[in-house]
Structure 1
Amino acid sequence: MRESESTMWTDKQRGIRVSQEKLLCKNACGYYGNPAWQGFCSKCWRERARPAAAPRQDTRPSNDGTPPTFSKFEEKKNIEKARRINTMRRLFWGSPSPPKPQEPSERQAALLKAYQSLEPGDFTGFLKILRSPSSQRLQSRCTAFLNTVEAYHDLPIQKQSDLVQDFYQSFAEYFSSLPEAQVTQIMEHVEKLIMTRLHKWVFCHDSCDDEQKDLALQKRIRSLNWVTPQMLNVPYPDKKTSVTGDPFLPAITAIIEMDAKRAPQDKLACVSKCSQHVFEALSAWNSEPANADDFLSGLVYVVLKANPPRLHSNMQYVIRFGLPHSIMAGESGYYFTNLSCAVAFIEKLDGPALSLSPEEFEGYMLGHRAPTALKKRQQVASNTQHLLEELKGRQEKLDQGVGTLNVQLQKWVQAVHSQLDEATTQFALVQKEITAQAELPPAISLSTLDASLQRDDTELLKVTDC
């Protein structure tokens, strides 16, 4: 990293620092810039890029070895491309430039009032109005545009991006009489309608190297898995603070969900959700609100922990096909710009940015060294593994004891059953004897016999005395 870039991105006291001026467009237009546009906003970047991409005739002398027919072939090819683009625009608008609405004023006013009554985020309501008979012209334009772009899906990705952005601008002109906030809401519905269908054709297009850059970025992030919050100067809870789980987990989940969305605004919503969770995590254990430096450091840490799938492709998709106001201004623009800065920081990350010497940084990258916190985690993991092995041995002994106890219990049960059977047999014999005695004739009891004998003896003594 060059000295100027190092001054921009790092600071020994606060870690990563990006001033507000660095986030704004180089043209000083007031909108947010982006590293992907070399610091310009999307509007200024397109104004700079489009003249360079315009067809140019070959004015070189013919003595350079190029066949004279080649320049004519190139000129014909460029004319054919321009004709295709104009054909697409005619299919959509009916003429090279968008015409003024031809509907009667009352009908147009009623239609605009219907669109104006839409609630924010009511995409279903937007589709109902668009499919109504009064909105048939706008629906036909959307359908024609979608069919044409799908038919010409092999055009370079930048051409397709220009066509979509032109479509946004032309479509918004129909609602120019409405307040800007309502036009923005309507165009967000239009973007969702158009890009949900075009996603499979334009995302990670064959004409660009997004897939290769995705793999390179994922490999880069994976090689930096040793970076700790302390190295980035991220305010992180100390040992005395009771924290359950990773406080940045909701932010990590939100940024990973971005790949599953199809509309650019839905992907931006994931970025905004992730950023808000970062602020919440940073503010959870600090008495004062998190500042911009802490936020960017936390966002870098979240990206390193999450390693989001196809991050480069998702960001380029938003840049190429998102509504300009969503990424140039407002909360979503601020968060997206910070995400772009975080990715640029990761791609250029070196030792000084982490307060490490080049040798230490190289050692970490090669796996020869490990941060103190990582060593502690490894030691904890080793101790935990030792405890698990000890617990496993105890469990085996316990299993053996349980087996022995089961055998003894079975023997005891068998002994109880034997004693019960023997007692049952003896009871049956006693019961038989009692039954047999009950069936014999009655006999004189011994007590009656003794009483009778005593009475006879008494009478005998009386006679003798006489």
Structure 2
Amino acid sequence: MDFFRSGLSPSPSNRRRAVEENDNSQEDESADNQDRNQFSYYFMLRTGKVLDLNIPQQTKNFIFRVRGSKEDINIRSKEVQMFYSFMTKKIKNFPYFEGWKQESIDDVVVGMERFVMVNIYANVFNPPSDREKNDAIDCKIRSLHWILPKHLDFTLPSDNENSDRQLALAQYYLLELNKKRSPHDKIACIVLCCKALHDLFNLAHDKAAGADELLPMLIYTIIVAAPPNLYATTQYIDRFLPPEALTSGETGYNFTNICCALQFLENISPDKLSLSPEEFDHFMEGHSSHLEEALSTKFASGLLDNINRVKECEDKVRQLQSYHDKLRNNTEQLQVDITKHKAEVHKSLSEMRAKFSSLEEEMAKLLTS
């Protein structure tokens, strides 16, 4: 494949000449060159260094290749991972990185990965092979709005401003998942969501939460927030985040937890909840007599607050629209008044000119008589 043909790095003199040419022609550079060098600009902003000129072109070629590919999503995933590996070696062998800390080089590599994924996101996120299952799980999660913490065998902390904040944060980060395009940014939202739940548990019990405590809280957070495309998101992360990021550490642990929570919700049954099969069927049929109780729980308080804020925002929007309409009407009336006043001024001036001309004629007659 084209992107595995590694060219030689430019010599120092060539690099200097490239920098000078870039400085001299920056203002009149064509749109095509700007697109070709987009990654170069990104790289320079991140590092203050000029990148090997082969790297941005190879990156652009690869992005266009994936965009035009009709291959199965798993094949495209393997190609992306191979490109990561190829480009990571090329970046790490770049001469300017000599003496850099490994963390700084890793940051540049992650920047390259983000750049690639943001540009191919629309072509690889939630492919046709995932959509039916993704939509079914989204629908299933929304149908479980009646579930309370007691059904998952955990209790919420007492009324506390800090705990409410952590609950709201956990929901917020789950909802942010669908707005992010890079797998790095999506997994960061999952980590922050789990961190908020860990902090919540610590506030309630003054100790760290283990997997047995975190999982039911995470399941309930997913039910309350109902983030769209959650299955598609986990598949996207699994396919396109570098494998080493998910094999160990905090990131891997939290990703495993959200996958387990999703599997639990997909295969939920009465024996997994603290209620009878009859109650389960009753609630699944829509007879949620305790919905008010569900909405009044502290865990859902963030949701209620958000609903109230939305209503407040809608009222403010209506007020602003009313003010806008009044301002527009006043502006139109002012334009009419200005036009009318302008016409009156012109008329007065014309009358004054006529009177002045008449006076001039009378003065001329008197002077000649």
Please tell me the TM-score bracket, short chain as reference: 0.5 to 0.7
Cα shift readout 1:118-147 (whole Å, capped 9, x = no counterpart): xxxxx9763447896552011121112112
> 1:169 pairs with 85, 88, 96, which one?
85
One-letter identity of the residue aligned with 1:338: N
How far residue 370 of structure 1 moved from its aligned partner, in angstroms, is: 4.2
In the other structure, the counterpart of 1:395 is none
In the other structure, the counterpart of 2:68 is 151
In the other structure, the counterpart of 2:157 is 237
In the other structure, the counterpart of 1:28 is none
Cα shift readout 1:347-383 (whole Å, capped 9, x = no counterpart): 11111211222222222212346459838959xxxxx
* Identity percentage of aligned residues: 27
One-letter identity of the residue aligned with 1:204: N
How far residue 324 of structure 1 moved from its aligned partner, in angstroms, is: 1.6
How far residue 344 of structure 1 moved from its aligned partner, in angstroms, is: 0.5
Q: Is the 8 A contact 1:107 1:134 kept in 2?
A: no
Taking the TM superposition and a 5 Å limit, the aligned residue runs for 1:83-98 are 89-90=1-2, 92-94=3-5
> 1:139 pairs with 52, 56, 68, which one?
56
In the other structure, the counterpart of 1:321 is 240
**Aligned with 1:356: secondary structure?**
coil
After superposition, the Cα gap between the structure-2 partners of 1:145 and 1:237, relative to the gap in structure 1 and judged at 3 Å, is: same
Q: Is the 8 A contact 2:148 2:294 kept in 1?
A: no
Distance 2:112 2:288 in 1: 52
Distance 1:329 1:124 in 2: 33
One-letter identity of the residue aligned with 1:170: F
Distance 1:233 1:106 in 2: 68
Distance 2:220 2:171 in 1: 9
In angstroms, what is the RMSD of aligned CA positions?
3.2
> 1:303 pairs with 222, 226, 250, which one?
222
**Aligned with 1:285: secondary structure?**
helix
After superposition, the Cα gap between the structure-2 partners of 1:138 and 1:131, relative to the gap in structure 1 and judged at 3 Å, is: farther
After superposition, the Cα gap between the structure-2 partners of 1:105 and 1:260, relative to the gap in structure 1 and judged at 3 Å, is: same
The answer on 1:201 being equivalent to 2:88 is no
Distance 1:124 1:328 in 2: 32
How far residue 330 of structure 1 moved from its aligned partner, in angstroms, is: 2.2
One-letter identity of the residue aligned with 1:357: S
Cα shift readout 1:78-103 (whole Å, capped 9, x = no counterpart): xxxxxxxxxxx12x133xxxx58555
In the other structure, the counterpart of 2:286 is 367
Distance 2:83 2:259 in 1: 26
Q: Comparing both structures, which one devotes a greater share of its residues to helix?
A: 2
Q: Is the 8 A contact 1:101 1:174 kept in 2?
A: no
Cα shift readout 1:404-455 (whole Å, capped 9, x = no counterpart): xxxxxxxxxxxxxxxxxxxxxxxxxxxxxxxxxxxxxxxxxxxxxxxxxxxx
In the other structure, the counterpart of 2:182 is 263
How far residue 326 of structure 1 moved from its aligned partner, in angstroms, is: 2.1
After superposition, the Cα gap between the structure-2 partners of 1:336 and 1:127, relative to the gap in structure 1 and judged at 3 Å, is: farther
Distance 1:107 1:294 in 2: 59
One-letter identity of the residue aligned with 2:243: P
**Aligned with 2:149: secondary structure?**
coil
Distance 1:375 1:188 in 2: 41
How far residue 218 of structure 1 moved from its aligned partner, in angstroms, is: 1.5
After superposition, the Cα gap between the structure-2 partners of 1:170 and 1:377, relative to the gap in structure 1 and judged at 3 Å, is: closer
**Range with greater deviation from structure 2 (367-376 or 181-190):** 367-376
Q: How many residues align?
A: 266
Distance 1:280 1:156 in 2: 41
How far residue 233 of structure 1 moved from its aligned partner, in angstroms, is: 2.1
TM-score relative to the length of structure 2: 0.64
One-letter identity of the residue aligned with 2:137: L
Q: Is the 8 A contact 1:327 1:336 kept in 2?
A: yes
Cα shift readout 1:141-188 (whole Å, capped 9, x = no counterpart): 111211222232x22212211111110011122245677645532321
**Aligned with 1:361: secondary structure?**
helix
One-letter identity of the residue aligned with 2:62: F
In the other structure, the counterpart of 2:168 is 249
> 1:211 pairs with 117, 127, 131, which one?
131
**Aligned with 2:205: secondary structure?**
coil
**Aligned with 1:155: secondary structure?**
coil
In the other structure, the counterpart of 1:3 is none
After superposition, the Cα gap between the structure-2 partners of 1:106 and 1:298, relative to the gap in structure 1 and judged at 3 Å, is: farther
**Aligned with 1:230: secondary structure?**
helix
Distance 2:192 2:294 in 1: 33
After superposition, the Cα gap between the structure-2 partners of 1:286 and 1:140, relative to the gap in structure 1 and judged at 3 Å, is: same
Q: Is the 8 A contact 2:175 2:225 kept in 1?
A: yes
Bigger Rg, structure 1 or 2: 1
Distance 1:133 1:186 in 2: 13
Distance 1:191 1:231 in 2: 41
Distance 1:360 1:352 in 2: 11
Q: Is the 8 A contact 2:174 2:227 kept in 1?
A: yes
How far residue 329 of structure 1 moved from its aligned partner, in angstroms, is: 2.2
Structure 1 spans left out of the alignment, 5+ residues: 1-88, 109-122, 379-466
Q: Is the 8 A contact 2:91 2:109 kept in 1?
A: no
The answer on 1:279 being equivalent to 2:201 is no
One-letter identity of the residue aligned with 1:167: F
After superposition, the Cα gap between the structure-2 partners of 1:372 and 1:190, relative to the gap in structure 1 and judged at 3 Å, is: closer
After superposition, the Cα gap between the structure-2 partners of 1:287 and 1:225, relative to the gap in structure 1 and judged at 3 Å, is: same
**Aligned with 2:139: secondary structure?**
helix
One-letter identity of the residue aligned with 2:81: Q
How far residue 107 of structure 1 moved from its aligned partner, in angstroms, is: 9.2
Q: Is the 8 A contact 2:219 2:261 kept in 1?
A: yes
One-letter identity of the residue aligned with 1:135: D
After superposition, the Cα gap between the structure-2 partners of 1:200 and 1:215, relative to the gap in structure 1 and judged at 3 Å, is: same
